[in-house]
Structure 1
Amino acid sequence: MRVVDSGQDDVRWRAVVDRLPMPDQVFVYAVTTTRVYCRPGCPSRRPNRANVVYFDRPEEARAAGFRACLRCRPDEPADTGVARCVERARRRLDTDEAEPTLSELAAEAGLSPGHFQRLFKAWVGVSPKGYARAVRATRLRTALEEGATVTEAIYGAGYGGPARAHGEAGAALGMSPSAYRKGGAGEVIDYTMGDCVLGRVLVAATPRGLCAVFLGDDDAALYDSLRARFPRADVRPDGDSARAVLPTVQTLAAEPGRPFDGPLDVRGTAFQLKVWDALRRIPPGETRTYGTIAGDIGQPTAARAVARACADNPVAMVVPCHRVLRGDGCPGGYRWGTARKLALLEAEQDSQDQG
C-alpha cells in the first residue's frame, strides 16, 4: 500500500537519507524513475524525494511494477544487507596488506564513518580498529610460531615498526614478541593447585593476570598441561599471584554464576578472542549453541571453529564455555569432561531457581 505524505512519511524519508538499517523490515521505498525498490539502509545514491514512494512490504512494491535492488536485496531477511557490508569490510581487514581506513570502509558500504563503525562493532563485537589490531597480532603470532625472525614477523604482520609491535602486540601475546618466539622464555608464571567441588584445580597467573584455570583429577597431568601451553616459561609453584586468586576460583567452581572481575592474561588468535568474549556475555543460567555464537560474532558458518575455540579455552569457568551446547540441545564436548560441564550448568540453574 502506498503511503501518502504525512508525519510517518517524514520519518521514513529520514531513515532513507541517513541510510538507517532497520532491525525489522518495517517498510521499503521505491524510486519511480528507476523502477527499483530498496530497504532504508541501502548504500545506493540518495534519490530525489519527489521520486520516492513507500510500501509496507516488498511484495506490494513488486505488485506495483518495481524490481528489487541488487545492492541491498530488500527481499532477503532484514539483517542480510548489513551483514554483507560488515563481512566485506572484515575480509578487507583480514587480507589487505595496507590496513584500510575507517573512511575507506565506510565509503565502500555507502555509510558515514560514525554510523559504519557502530554497525561493525554491533556485529563483530569490536571496532574496525580493534579488529585490525587483533588481525595484526594473529599474523605476528603465526609468523613467530613458524620460525620467522622478530623483525620479519613485525613488518610482515603490518606493524610500522618494533615500537608499535611491542606496545600493541604485547597485550595480545602476553609478552614481548621476542619472548613469544622463544616459547615464553623469560616469562614468569606462578601456579598453584587445590581442591574444589569439581576435583582438582590448577590456577596460574602472570604479572598481567590470570592465564590458566585447568580442571582434573591428577596433579601431574594438570602440570603437564600448563607446561605444554608455556613450554619455555619460568613456571614457579605456589607463587603469590596464583595463591591470591585460588580461593576465588574455588568459589567459582561451586557457584559458577558469580562474575570474575580480576585481570586476565588469556592469549589466542583473533577468532578465539572474539569467541571467548562472546562466551563471557552469556548470562548465568542461560545457554547458547555453537551456531548461535558463530552468528553473534558475525561468522554464521563457523560453528565448528567456535567449538574448537571453546575446547581451547584456557580459563575454565572464567570464560564460561560450559554454557555452549550442540544444536540438538545435547551438552557436547567439554575439555574438562562432560560430567563437570553438566555439574556447572546444574549449579547455575539451581542458583537461578533459588533467586
Structure 2
Amino acid sequence: MNEQEKYNYERIANAISYIGDNFKEQPNLDEIAEKVHLSPYHFQRLFREWAGISPKKFLQYISVEHAKNILSDKDATLFDAAMDTGLSGTSRLHDLFINIEGMTPGEYKNGGENLSINYSYSLSPFGTVIIASTSKGICHIAFVEDEEKALYELKKHFPKASFYQRVDQSQVNALLVFANDWTQLSEIKLHLKGTDFQLKVWESLLKIPQGQLSTYGDIAKHIKKPKASRAVGTAIGSNPIAFLIPCHRVIQSTGNIGQYHWGSTRKTAILGWEAAKVHTK
C-alpha cells in the first residue's frame, strides 16, 4: 500500500467510524464528506472503492441492525425502533426493512407471524425436494434426504409462520423447471429475503443459460464487484432456492466442480443432465 492508498484508507475508516457513531442523526452524504475533507462526489467514489457499497447503503445497514436489536425486545414497538434509530417515523422504518431485509419490520419482529406458508414434497430427477411458497411466491426449495429434517430447517427461517402441507399454483409453475421447461420463468414469482449484495448475486445466477457454466470471478465481475469472489461464494452458498436459482452452474476458475450445498455428486449429476438436454435439442 503506497502513501496515497494509506491516506485514502484512513479517510474511509474515519468515515465509517463517524457513521457508526452518528447514525442516529442520519447524516447525509454532504455531512459525512465534509468530516473527511472531501467533495461529496470524490467521497462517494472513494467509499465505494474501499467499502464496496455506497455511504447511504452502509448507513442503512447500520440503522437496520440497530432497529433489529431494538425489536428483539418483545415490549418494544415499531415507533420505538424508528425513533431510537433516528428515523422520522414508522413509514421510513418500513421502507428500510423492505429494502434491506426483504420483509416488513412487523414481520421481522414477529418471526413470520401471520405469514402463511404452503409446502409440499416432490420427486425430481435428482431426488426429493421440499418446496415452499407464500402469497408472494416461492420462498424455499431444497433437496432433502429426510422430510422431517427438511421441514424443521424450513421452519427455522420462519419460526412463527403458519405452515400448511399443500400444493399451490406457484409450486406447480416452479416445478416445471425439472421437466426442462425454462420457458415459464416469467410466471414464477419469488419471495426472497437477502441483503442487496445477495440479491444481486442470485439475480446474476438466473442469467446463466442452461448447459453453460460460470465462475465465482465471472459473477463478481457481472455485479461490478471484481474483487469480491469470496463474498460471491458465500452469497451463492446461501441461495435458498435450489436448482431454480442455478447456483449449480457456478464452478471454480480451475475447472473444478467445487462445493454445493446439496452435495458435489448431485451438482455433477445436474450439470451432466443439463448438458445432455441442451445437446439433444
Q: TM-score, structure 2 length as denominator? A: 0.72
**Is contact 1:285–1:352 with CA below 8 Å preserved after alignment?**
yes
Out of 225, 230, 234, the residue aligned to residue 158 of structure 2 is 230
Match of 1:154 in 2: 82
Q: Give yes or no for the alignment of 1:220 onto 2:145.
A: no
Letter of the structure 2 residue corresponding to residue 260 of structure 1: L
Alignment of 1:292-331 (within 5 A): 292-331=218-257
Q: Give yes or no for the alignment of 1:247 onto 2:172.
A: yes
Measured after TM superposition, the shift of residue 152 of structure 1 is 5.0
Alignment of 1:269-284 (within 5 A): 269-284=195-210
- Please give the root-mean-square deviation of Cα atoms over the aligned residues, in Å: 3.9
**Is contact 2:118–2:165 with CA below 8 Å preserved after alignment?**
yes
Higher relative contact order (CA 8 A, sep 6+): 2
Measured after TM superposition, the shift of residue 247 of structure 1 is 3.0
Match of 2:136 in 1: 208
Match of 2:65 in 1: 139
Match of 1:50 in 2: none
**Is contact 1:200–1:215 with CA below 8 Å preserved after alignment?**
yes
CA distance in 2, matches of 1:344, 1:312: 19
Measured after TM superposition, the shift of residue 167 of structure 1 is 4.5
**Is contact 1:144–1:181 with CA below 8 Å preserved after alignment?**
no
**Is contact 2:133–2:171 with CA below 8 Å preserved after alignment?**
no
CA pair 318-134 structure 1, distance change in 2 beyond 3 A: farther
CA pair 188-304 structure 1, distance change in 2 beyond 3 A: same
The answer for unaligned runs of 5 or more in structure 1 is 1-69, 72-86
Measured after TM superposition, the shift of residue 267 of structure 1 is 0.3
Instruction: Classify the secondary structure of the residue corresponding to 1:332.
Output: coil
Letter of the structure 1 residue corresponding to residue 120 of structure 2: T
Measured after TM superposition, the shift of residue 160 of structure 1 is 3.0
Instruction: Classify the secondary structure of the residue corresponding to 1:267.
Output: coil
Match of 2:114 in 1: 186
Render the CA deviation track for 1:179-213: whole Å, top value 9, x for unaligned. Answer: 31232122211111121111111111111111111
CA pair 141-326 structure 1, distance change in 2 beyond 3 A: farther
Measured after TM superposition, the shift of residue 147 of structure 1 is 5.1
**Is contact 2:237–2:260 with CA below 8 Å preserved after alignment?**
yes
How many residue pairs get matched? 255
The answer for unaligned runs of 5 or more in structure 2 is 6-11, 34-38
**Is contact 1:175–1:187 with CA below 8 Å preserved after alignment?**
no
Letter of the structure 2 residue corresponding to residue 246 of structure 1: Q
CA distance in 1, matches of 2:111, 2:137: 19
Q: Give yes or no for the alignment of 1:334 onto 2:265.
A: no
Aligned residues with identical type, % of pairs:
28
CA pair 254-172 structure 1, distance change in 2 beyond 3 A: farther
- Higher radius of gyration, 1 or 2: 1
Instruction: Classify the secondary structure of the residue corresponding to 1:214.
Output: strand
Out of 213, 218, 228, the residue aligned to residue 287 of structure 1 is 213
Measured after TM superposition, the shift of residue 315 of structure 1 is 0.9
**Is contact 2:128–2:144 with CA below 8 Å preserved after alignment?**
yes
Instruction: Classify the secondary structure of the residue corresponding to 1:164.
Output: helix
CA distance in 1, matches of 2:80, 2:229: 33
Render the CA deviation track for 1:123-181: whole Å, top value 9, x for unaligned. Answer: x9x9998x579747853675468659444543566643201322453465454312312
**Is contact 2:202–2:239 with CA below 8 Å preserved after alignment?**
yes
CA distance in 2, matches of 1:275, 1:312: 10
Match of 1:166 in 2: 94
Letter of the structure 2 residue corresponding to residue 232 of structure 1: K
